[in-house]
Structure 1
Amino acid sequence: MKPIYITDLDHTFLHTDLSISPFSIEAWNTKAQDAFMSVATARSFTKAKELLSQLQINTPMILLDGSIIITPEQEIIDIKTIGKILGDAIVEVGMAHEIDPFIIGMKDSNINESFLYPRKLNDYQRDVLKGYKDDPRMQFNPDNRTMEQNLKIVYFGYEKQLRPLYEALKNIFGNEIEAKLSPEKYGGGWFLTLLHPEGDKAHALKKVMEYLERDPSDVTVFGDSVNDIGMFRLAGTSIAVSNALDEVKNVADIVLPHSNDEDAVAQYLSGL
């Protein structure tokens, strides 16, 4: 029976500069000859396709934190979105806390996304936005209105502002949303991600296993951050890289001695 490997990208498989080493490419593509290989990432289809162009992906990808599951041939397996009414209500709470969000939603039925950014930006949001300077998906959203199909709503900032917002959103919307608050280890700030309640990596992993007609206990997953924890608890084998957050290491079956910049995932794959 073919083994199954699914990895997070940022700070897990990718180097911090978003590159993939020749060693990682070779280790991945060699393993893909006799294993199911895929990713579970906060990245969109457009960006994941660009970053992973040299890798053989032969299994549905979990994208945008689990909001969308799609095959390498662009067949949508599942999609979970926040509707406009709920999305606008979430944004109103954020505005009451004096912070505006980035919003990623479906632009059309061809898996094209729109990335909406607000008029009011804090310093951390400005830094994030610099990385999307020439991204054709970017769209100015001065009124902070959401789309008909919102894949995720994301707030970037600092903990002292985002934690009260996180608590308020959980109190107001309860199980209508999935809310994840986490530090961004490399940028010094925090991010708060709002998803459909079944739009996280754990639910998405179940769907992928159903698609493969396999049990979640058959899969090995790799990760580093809070959005990987649900997936770690579900998978048969969960592996944290050395630079993972402590709360991720605490639920991992294996903690690797290498970091993402030391090709941790590839080191593990090539040693099997």
Structure 2
Amino acid sequence: MKPIYITDLDHTFLRSDLSLSPFSIETWNQKARDALMGVATARSFSKSKELLEKLHINAPMILLDGSIIVTPQRELIDMKTLGKEMGDAIVEVGLQYDIDPFIIGVKDNDLNEAFLYPRKLNDYQKEVLKGYKDDPRMQFNPDNRTMEKNLKIVYFGYEDQLSPLYEAIKHTFGKEIEAKLSPEKYGGGWFLTLLHPEGDKSHALSKVIDYLGQDPSDVTVFGDSVNDVGMFKLAGTSVAVSNALDEVKALADVVLPHSNDEDGVAKYLNSL
């Protein structure tokens, strides 16, 4: 069986400016000759392909925090969505805390996505929105309603606002949704991501392993944040970059001496 390497992108494999060094590209592509190389990211298919255009990806791609799994040719393997009734109920809880969400959903049968941004934006949300100003998926959502198929609902803000919302959502919906609250240590804010209960990276990685007909012990994963924790618990080997959150490092089998900006993942792959 070929070994499998699955990496998170932002703050793990990609540099902070979203670039890849020639060393990382060369190391990845050399490894892909004898191993299965894939990604597990909060990003969409189109943006991932754009950022990784020089890489040979030969394993299924885990996208949008695990809510969708596709082949590198964009053939759907699995998709987990929140329905409109559930999505709108989540929004109503958020309104009690005076915050509106960003909503990413599927708008057609060709898996094209829409990224709905709200009528009311806090300072952190305004900064987030600047990074998507040229994204063709962006749509203004003045009615603050969700879609028929919601891949994920995301609240951006600050800890004092999102922590009580997180607790309220867990109390209201329990195991009907997957909720992840995490600091965004690079921008000073926090984000709360809400998914189908089987739409996270851990469940997605399990699906990928079954799809490939291999064993968790064959898998090495790389990450830095809370949404990578489930993968760390499942994979045979888990690797945290040096800039990872402390709680992620605590669960890792290997903590690298190098950060994403120092090509930590590529240096690890090159050392094997």
TM-score (normalizing by structure 2) = 0.99
Partner of 1:75: 75
Match of 2:164, as an amino acid?
Answer: P
Letter in 1 for 2:149: Q
By how many angstroms is 1:46 displaced? 1.3
Match of 2:226 in 1: 226
Q: Pairwise mapping of residues 1-272 of structure 1 onto structure 2 (< 5 A)?
A: 1-272=1-272
CA drift of 1:96 comes to 1.0
State the distance in 1 between where 2:98 and 2:142 align.
Answer: 14
* Corresponding letter in the other structure for 1:226: V
Q: Residue 184 of structure 2 contacts residue 190 of structure 2 at CA under 8 Å; is this kept in 1? A: yes
Alpha-carbon separation, structure 1, partners of 2:150 and 2:111: 13
CA contact (8 A) 2:104 2:114 kept: yes
Q: Deviations over 1:60-116 (max 9, x none)?
A: 000000000000011110000000000000001001110000000001111210000
Secondary structure of 2:179's aligned partner: strand
Question: Could you list the per-position Cα deviations for residues 167-190 of structure 1 after superposition, in whole angstroms to 9, with x for gaps in the alignment?
Answer: 000000000000000000110000
How many Å separate the matches in 2 of 1:58 and 1:137?
26
- Distance in 2, matches of 1:83 and 1:46, equals 23
CA contact (8 A) 2:2 2:218 kept: no
Write the distance in 2 (CA, Å) between the matches of 1:218 and 1:81. Answer: 28
Provide the identity percentage: 79
CA distance in 1, matches of 2:180, 2:117: 20
Instruction: Decide which moves more: 246-255 or 103-112.
Output: 103-112
Which amino acid in structure 2 is aligned with residue 218 of structure 1?
A: D
> 1:9, 1:83 → 2: CA distance?
28
Q: Displacement, 1:267?
A: 0.3
3-state DSSP class of the match of 1:193? strand
CA–CA distance in structure 2, aligned partners of residues 39 and 109 of structure 1: 23
State how far apart, in whole Å, the 1-side matches of 2:61 and 2:108 are: 19
**TM-score under structure 1 length normalisation:** 0.99
Report the AA paired with residue 54 of structure 1. K
**Distance in structure 2 (CA, Å) of the matches to 1:85 and 1:43:** 25
CA distance in 1, matches of 2:21, 2:108: 34
Q: Find the aligned partners of 2:238 and 2:109 in 1 and give their Cα distance.
A: 34
**Partner Cα distance (1:101, 1:46) in 2:** 22
> Alignment length, in residue pairs?
272
- Which consecutive aligned stretches of 4+ in structure 1 deviate over 3 angstroms post-superposition? none
Contact kept, 8 Å, 2:68 with 2:79, in 1: the verdict is: yes
Could you tell me how far apart the structure 2 residues matched to 1:165 and 1:100 are? 11
Amino acid at match of 1:49: K
RMSD (CA atoms): 0.5
SS where residue 239 of structure 1 aligns? strand
In structure 1, C-alpha distance between the alignment counterparts of 2:260 and 2:203, rounded to whole Å: 25
* SS across alignment from 2:6: strand
Unaligned runs of 5+ in 1: none
Work out the CA distance in 2 between the residues paired with 1:216 and 1:6: 12
8 Å CA contact 2:104–2:116 kept in 1: the answer is yes
Structure 1 CA distance for aligned equivalents of residues 261 and 192 of structure 2: 25
Letter matched to residue 230 of structure 1:
G
